[in-house]
Structure 1
Amino acid sequence: MTLFILFLFNFADAQTKDGSISGAVLDDARKPLDGATVILLTAKDSVVLSTKLANPDGSFAFQNLKNNTYIIKATYIGYKNYRSNLVEVSGQKAVNLPPFTLSSIGKKLNEVTVTAQKSYVQQKIDRTVVNVGALISNTGANALEVLAKTPGVQVDADGNITFKGKSGVMVMIDDKPTYLSAANLATYLRSLPSSALDQIELMDNPPAKYDAAGNAGVINIKTKKNTTRGFNAVVSANLAQGFYGRTNESINFNYRIDKINFFANIAYNKQKTFRRLEIDRNYLDANGDLTSSLKDISYFRPSSNNTNIKAGLDYFISPKTTWGVVLTGNISRDHDSSPVYSLLYDKSGGLDSTVNSLNTSKNKFDSKGINLNYTHKFDSTGRTLTFDLDYIRDVSGSNQLFVNNTFLPDGTLTNLQTITDNLPSTINIYSAKADYTHPLKGKAKLEAGVKSSYVNTDNAANYFNVIDGVSTIDYNNTNRFLYKENINAAYINFNKSFGRFSLQTGLRLENTNGDGHQLGNGQKGDSSFVKHYTNLFPTAYFSYNLDTAGHNMLVASYGRRIGRPSYGSLNPFTFFVDKFTYFSGNPFLKPQFTDNYKLAYSFKSLFTVALAYNYTTDVQNETIHKSGNVFISTTGNIGQQKTWDFSVNSNLQPTKWWSVNLYAEEYNNTYQGQFYTGYLHQSQYTFSANGNNQFTLSKTWSAELSGWYNSGGTYGQFVSIPTGMVNVAVQKKILNNKGSIKLNMRDVFKSFSPSGAITNIADATATYHNFVDTQVATLAFTYSFGKSTNVPHKRDTGGAESEQGRAH
């Protein structure tokens, strides 16, 4: 069948091929200008025929051109416009132009030289691109801290990520899923230094070629990639001081000779952080009167050592064919000593008893992955075939000790409880995918692909009660959960331009097969479940240029997505967090489905305003219910969620030495559905804003002032209060501009303090308050060396695109 489809594509191509013009747009340092505007005009009367944005590697292509003489114009904010010589297309000719070089605009004012730099935020038809290096204050930060400053993204004190007010976002690294639980993902992102990051792509409605997983959309973190001949490298090191000290070191290099290109990114991170969490719980009787209360004060001081490695080899068999292999690895070790002080009060407010808990844990996480990829370009029109094979193995484990001492108000010890546990986990992921791109006549393109993935997980929880130094198995909590899942997918995507009007439509089919087995123990029997379902996921984008230059554009889009339960949340057994807090899985969880609608207007790359509406059924959300005086956290389907979102983004340059990016949004989350306590109905408006100011002080000095604010909102049972952050940074370029020294201060006013309330708990109320170690000063040094001859962009992506983000 595949050969037959390829035959039809080849036949269609033979019948419809016309001429084409391709090339690349570079800056004066010979680096790609991602998002540069490239305009095709007729030479005779300068009529604008088509407008495109340059790809991340600076490339562009105008296809299916009639015999004629053309002119190419390229523009980019902060750079002088480029206008080509006459370009003639005749006889189905493919014209490959040499790279265009745009010179940055410079002007001398009182010995101050002003040069342009890459915009922090760029808007594209199906995504928003954030350039990490454009902010000096990102220096010394980790990937999770960078995300917390990204427009539309929120990160709570536990590292959970929401996007435009919705949870369930799929986080990817270089177009590959991370395959990690929420906790392990946060650990990994904290270990990944900002010096290794290039861009962050935000897609609230991704195209059909992406996996449909992630009901809130996709956040794709793109790491830095050297693409030049010879040996080239960027090294960085920084020293930071918050509540405790921390360090980050990394090297990103490549070596290309003839047909071989070797590249690697190696980073090491050592840090110790601090967090204080206060939780207040009030217990009520049936009449709503107070019966008792509990105040928990927890101190977290995790220390960790993390090493991230990504290395690969590209072999260019010919200008049209490339084979590649990519190896990834993450080694993480951390230790945490977390004392908890619990104060129990009677209904009159008198102290009843205290519980002092000493909780310690030693955790490890090892991830290894290999990707084999192939790319073949049939011709210069863009007809391309790619495939990827991936294997990833994650092994994690935790050894914990819980010692709970209960005292009367006079200090008399009334109870001593000691619990130990061992929590090993293994996950294996196999994935294979193929994608085919075929240009068609009349400014059209067809894309199609298939993918199959298989995942098996093995999670065990071994609990022991320790009395007088003797350990006995706790059968109530000891368990082992096995889960296997296979997802098969196929998609087709079509786009075409009609003068000022463009459309892109796609359809993706995904078939899911899951098999869970909860093993029994000495006191409890085993159980199992099987899930099979097949779904269609359409996407559509419609754009219209309001003027011939393509500066004013309207875009409407629709997409449907799925949020599958994380593997661990399906595990039905209970896990011990502390004496008053448990976590329990839910094997009856159903996938959630979201319909996304969006209408946007943009003016060049300067201004974008958008209105979005999202409707989600069978919403998966963390829920809290009470058993006695214990709070139990579990993931449940809580009904439906409706979200309205209005956002504005602007890139401004008030003067040659001052550039500004401002992002603001107002969204409303409404939750409705059956709940433990009856019918849940939560609704609240939230205002969120990000802003950064970049100042070019001289040829070698620059500075930045940035910050963000969130007014608080509702997320299922949880209602948060306002919080925010202000950052300042200064940079000095040294060593002929190949090196830099940066000083950055995050959270200047120590204002980031995620706090709020937990609602809809039967016969109880609860509030929480976090004091987080985010006020950090960082001194960093970066140096780059190597040649500057540009070469074709290498592939380093893979086909595992959704499974790891659900590993728990």
Structure 2
Amino acid sequence: MSSKIIAFLSAWLCFALNFAAAQTTPGKIAGRVNEPTGEPAIAATVKLLKQQGSTAAASMQTDINGRFVFNDVKPGDFVVEVTAVGYATYRSALIRITTSSGVANLPVITLQKSDVKLDEVNITAERDVIEQKVDRTVVNIGSSISSTGASALEVLEKMPGVLIDQSGNITFKGKTGIMVMIDDKPTYLSGDNLANYLRSIPASQLAQIELMPNPPARYDAAGNAGIINIKTKKSNKVGFNGTINASAGKAAYPFTNESLSLNYRKGKFNFFANAAFNLQNYYRRLDLNRRYFDNAGAQTGSYTEEAYFRSKSKNGNVKLGLDYDLSAKTTLGIVLSGNLTIGRTPNPVTSILRNAAGNVDSTIIADNNTWNNNKNGGINFNVLHRFDSLGRSLSIDLNYLGYNNRSRQIFQNTSFDKFGVPSAGQHIIDTLPTRINIYTAKVDYSHPLKNKAIFSAGVKTSYVNTDNAARYYNISNSGAQTVDIGRTNQFLYKEAIQAAYLNFNKEWSRLSFQTGLRMEYTDARGHQLAKTKGADSSFVNKYLSLFPTVYLQYKLDTTGKHAINASFGRRIDRPGYQDLNPFVVVLDKYSAFVGNPFLRPQYSNNYALNYTYKKLLTVGLLYAITSNFQVEHDYQDGDIFYASSINLGKTISKGINANLTWSPAKWWNFSLYAQLYRNSYEGQLKNSYLTSARTFFYSTTTSQFTFGKGWSGELTAFYQTRNVWGQFASLERKQVNIGLQKKILNNKGAIKLSARDIFRSNFSAGEITNLGNMKATYRNDNANRNVVIGFSYNFGSKPATQRTRETGAETEAGRAKN
């Protein structure tokens, strides 16, 4: 297999090098523009100025790769000028074109942040809240006022097209199955664990969020709905500089967030460090109602549950990095990261069982407690070599990530009969340690060709080793502990993925084309080490998958004001590591979660068609079909209500979305995202066949106001109608946030006041369908309304260049539930 991959890449590489040697057309000036992070500067304005009088001979905008080319340039002396919002104007040295000059290829132009202080009312140099690019939507949140004191999860909830349920499941543009990255690195978490990790990251450390519904071939194919990349703030200044943030707020209970970012650059060295600490103090109420019926439809009884969760934890995050310029063309880098979360969640539960007449049969009072101690750490070593000034480069990334997480639970259930007399008790203790070790390595090569074309290729290997244990003990009235052999278990899982990709870009005057092919080979092995005789089991799953991608962009006029984009991509979602774990995890006396080792990966084919007008408006159509769709399946078995994961036959998502970014006045920036989608599900459940579909509407809006004299404000809101996801039919959700800011200390500091969910309207509720002779409803209230006051202060000067690393460990991030 590996020899075929190498031969395939070699053939493409030879083709690319031969193409690069072709003769060029005389009278051209070409180049590429990068942002300080090294990423392409898209839509920067490039002017070709005549040396005498600086008259513009031509003007254009950079393409999606940051490239520009002026054709048919007449002999003479010229200067290239580059401008972009928020960056200093760049002017090249003198360029002389003669009748035999051919192509003048300029060195890569790296823009620098502007140091010019703007008038307080002039907001033209502020970056748009939402930037629509060819392959992604970029949301700039660094200056968001309403995010003061918020967490990364709370910020993510406000992103256009993103919905998050109370279990931490993320939906993007109507589809589930998203890969979440932070600074191009994986989180390695999903569900509640991903939500808790994102809560530990303060919003004050975030700069941008990139939303990619159809990523190109260089990215891992994982993520049915695409990729969400959360970018943290990074200093690009010479010398010693940094940022401090502190905030305190109150929802149901008080909470705090503190963070510090430092950067020191001198000569060939660049050192950076980020640290954050926060005290989480969350409250959640869960109400469940289950009604039971006979075959004739008559109600035979009911079960109601009222549960409270008071989650209090301390979280610390640290990230240290060092870049060293080995030469003008080669840079070495190392990044160390760590996260520690220690917390406790008391969970009192009152459950009532009633008979057919509605009279109380029995009551269960539960005093449950959960302690968590999660230690996560990682190291990344990277090398970037630039062969020339045209952009030919080779990058290498080596990664290790380790997760050592321990959960301890105590369940104390006391049952009372209909007269309130204690009748039975249950006392259970469990420990659920999880260890995950992840190793990845990847190599990427990029080769710009003549005539605005780029060839790229890469390989990646990853290895995952997980060890999950469940130790349950029954506690007698005397306090003696007895091992519960039926529940005690151990599950070992190993997975190796080998991948290779090819990608080709080509630009013409109006047409842009990109295509890629990614190949991934997966070898997955699981082994359950059960305590009971005969329950030991294992499985092996090997498969090879191909993932093509195609992108087309056509400018309807020479200025590029009107453009049409079309894209297609195939993607995969492998089961989460814990979803494969066959353990039965007790939630309460009558509820449990059980893993499914027979889960298969799901595959999706995604199609998109978009129309763009300037940077103001984007309207798009989306169609996606997913096979082997992974979804939560709820069912009753005896007295226990189980939740598990299964593969449905298929699901179809289709709809229309629109994004508007507009400045109605010089003091007002406005953005609006809206979508109208229809999701349909079809497949076999445990005891029934599911067929469900619903059309739903979702919209989010942001308004930013500049009042003058350092004062500014912000108003954000979202609204979602009823929706369905598998068996779950949810009610509408909505939320409104406001914020106010005052710049102080010569604009280096700011005081911010914000209020989230001011009408306390954001809670999830709905019905669970296809339960046979049972109907179930739920209401989950996270008490989102809060008020926060925060302070931030920046120090430092003079921009410098700092790299942003994509480490290659992105895919495995979203699949670990620790």
State the AA in 2 paired with 1:287.
Answer: A
Q: 1:11 to 1:92 in 2, by over 3 A?
A: same
- Verify the 8 A CA contact 2:16 2:455 in the aligned structure 1: no
Q: 2:475 aligns with which of 458, 466, 476?
A: 466
1:295 aligns with 2:304: yes
Q: Which residue in 2 is equivalent to 1:143?
A: 152
Correspondences of 1:770-789 after superposition (within 5 Å): 770-788=780-798
Q: 1:20 to 1:516 in 2, by over 3 A?
A: farther
- The alpha carbon displacement at 1:696 in A equals 0.2
- Verify the 8 A CA contact 1:67 1:92 in the aligned structure 2: no
1:759 aligns with 2:769: yes
Q: 1:520 to 1:100 in 2, by over 3 A?
A: closer
Q: 2:172 aligns with which of 154, 157, 163?
A: 163
Q: 1:474 to 1:31 in 2, by over 3 A?
A: closer
Q: Which residue in 2 is equivalent to 1:235?
A: 244
How many pairs were matched up? 798
Percent identity of equivalent pairs: 46
- The alpha carbon displacement at 1:673 in A equals 1.6
State the AA in 1 paired with 2:147.
Answer: N
Q: 2:618 aligns with which of 592, 608, 611?
A: 608
SS at match of 1:282: strand
| CA offsets 1:235-269 (integer angstroms, 9 cap, x no match) | 10001111111111111111011101001111111
Q: 1:231 to 1:78 in 2, by over 3 A?
A: closer
Taking the aligned partners of 1:181 and 1:102, their CA distance within structure 2 comes to: 39
- Verify the 8 A CA contact 2:209 2:230 in the aligned structure 1: yes
| CA offsets 1:491-511 (integer angstroms, 9 cap, x no match) | 001010121001110100000
| CA offsets 1:499-529 (integer angstroms, 9 cap, x no match) | 1001110100000000000012144531000
1:272 aligns with 2:281: yes
Q: Which residue in 2 is equivalent to 1:205?
A: 214
- Verify the 8 A CA contact 2:405 2:435 in the aligned structure 1: yes
- The alpha carbon displacement at 1:127 in A equals 0.6
Taking the aligned partners of 1:719 and 1:303, their CA distance within structure 2 comes to: 31
State the AA in 1 paired with 2:748.
Answer: K
1:792 aligns with 2:817: no
Q: 1:71 to 1:707 in 2, by over 3 A?
A: farther
State the AA in 2 paired with 1:723.
Answer: R
Correspondences of 1:255-270 after superposition (within 5 Å): 255-270=264-279
Q: 2:105 aligns with which of 69, 94, 101?
A: 94
- The alpha carbon displacement at 1:744 in A equals 0.5
SS at match of 1:207: coil
1:659 aligns with 2:665: no
Q: Which residue in 1 is equivalent to 2:68?
A: 62
- Verify the 8 A CA contact 1:114 1:699 in the aligned structure 2: no
Q: Which residue in 1 is equivalent to 2:437?
A: 428
| CA offsets 1:326-362 (integer angstroms, 9 cap, x no match) | 0011111110000010011111111111100111011
- The alpha carbon displacement at 1:793 in A equals 2.9
Correspondences of 1:712-731 after superposition (within 5 Å): 712-731=722-741
1:38 aligns with 2:45: yes
Taking the aligned partners of 1:559 and 1:619, their CA distance within structure 2 comes to: 17
Q: 1:622 to 1:26 in 2, by over 3 A?
A: closer
- The alpha carbon displacement at 1:51 in A equals 3.1
Q: 1:768 aligns with which of 765, 778, 786?
A: 778
Taking the aligned partners of 1:232 and 1:80, their CA distance within structure 2 comes to: 20
Q: 1:442 aligns with which of 446, 451, 455?
A: 451
- Verify the 8 A CA contact 2:168 2:190 in the aligned structure 1: no
- Return 488-497 or 468-477, whichever deviates more: 468-477
- Verify the 8 A CA contact 1:48 1:548 in the aligned structure 2: no
State the AA in 1 paired with 2:387.
Answer: F
- The alignment yields a C-alpha RMSD, in angstroms, of 2.7
- Verify the 8 A CA contact 1:24 1:100 in the aligned structure 2: no
Q: 1:383 to 1:770 in 2, by over 3 A?
A: same
| CA offsets 1:702-761 (integer angstroms, 9 cap, x no match) | 011111111120000001100111001000000000000000001111111111110001
- Verify the 8 A CA contact 1:642 1:670 in the aligned structure 2: yes
Correspondences of 1:620-635 after superposition (within 5 Å): 620-635=630-645
SS at match of 2:236: coil
- The alpha carbon displacement at 1:95 in A equals 2.4
Q: 2:595 aligns with which of 578, 585, 588?
A: 585
State the AA in 2 paired with 1:581.
Answer: S
SS at match of 1:150: coil
Give the TM-score taking structure 1 as reference length: 0.94
- Verify the 8 A CA contact 2:183 2:804 in the aligned structure 1: no
State the AA in 2 paired with 1:62.
Answer: F
Give the TM-score taking structure 2 as reference length: 0.93
- The alpha carbon displacement at 1:797 in A equals 2.9
Taking the aligned partners of 1:371 and 1:279, their CA distance within structure 2 comes to: 45
Q: Which residue in 1 is equivalent to 2:522?
A: 512
| CA offsets 1:661-720 (integer angstroms, 9 cap, x no match) | 111111110001222233211100111000111110003000111111111200000011
Q: Which residue in 2 is equivalent to 1:346?
A: 355
Q: 1:545 to 1:84 in 2, by over 3 A?
A: farther
- The alpha carbon displacement at 1:365 in A equals 0.9
Q: 1:168 to 1:32 in 2, by over 3 A?
A: closer
- The alpha carbon displacement at 1:762 in A equals 1.6
State the AA in 1 paired with 2:352.
Answer: L
- The alpha carbon displacement at 1:13 in A equals 3.4
Taking the aligned partners of 1:382 and 1:103, their CA distance within structure 2 comes to: 27
State the AA in 2 paired with 1:187.
Answer: N
1:694 aligns with 2:694: no
State the AA in 2 paired with 1:255.
Answer: Y
Correspondences of 1:71-90 after superposition (within 5 Å): 87-88=95-96, 90=101
User: Can you give the 5+ residue segments of structure 1 that lack an aligned partner in the other structure?
Assistant: none
- Verify the 8 A CA contact 1:104 1:116 in the aligned structure 2: no
- Verify the 8 A CA contact 1:17 1:440 in the aligned structure 2: no
1:408 aligns with 2:417: yes
- Verify the 8 A CA contact 2:45 2:84 in the aligned structure 1: no
SS at match of 1:186: helix
User: Can you give the 5+ residue segments of structure 2 that lack an aligned partner in the other structure?
Assistant: 1-5
- Verify the 8 A CA contact 1:245 1:272 in the aligned structure 2: yes
Q: Which residue in 1 is equivalent to 2:404?
A: 395
Q: Which residue in 1 is equivalent to 2:3?
A: none
Taking the aligned partners of 1:31 and 1:571, their CA distance within structure 2 comes to: 41
| CA offsets 1:624-667 (integer angstroms, 9 cap, x no match) | 01112321000001111100121111111111111101111111
State the AA in 2 paired with 1:778.
Answer: V
- Verify the 8 A CA contact 2:344 2:372 in the aligned structure 1: yes
- The alpha carbon displacement at 1:796 in A equals 3.2
Q: Which residue in 1 is equivalent to 2:744?
A: 734
Taking the aligned partners of 2:71 and 2:481, their CA distance within structure 1 comes to: 78
Taking the aligned partners of 1:40 and 1:506, their CA distance within structure 2 comes to: 32
Correspondences of 1:352-391 after superposition (within 5 Å): 352-391=361-400
Taking the aligned partners of 2:88 and 2:240, their CA distance within structure 1 comes to: 31
Q: 1:107 to 1:84 in 2, by over 3 A?
A: farther
1:489 aligns with 2:506: no
- Verify the 8 A CA contact 1:119 1:134 in the aligned structure 2: no
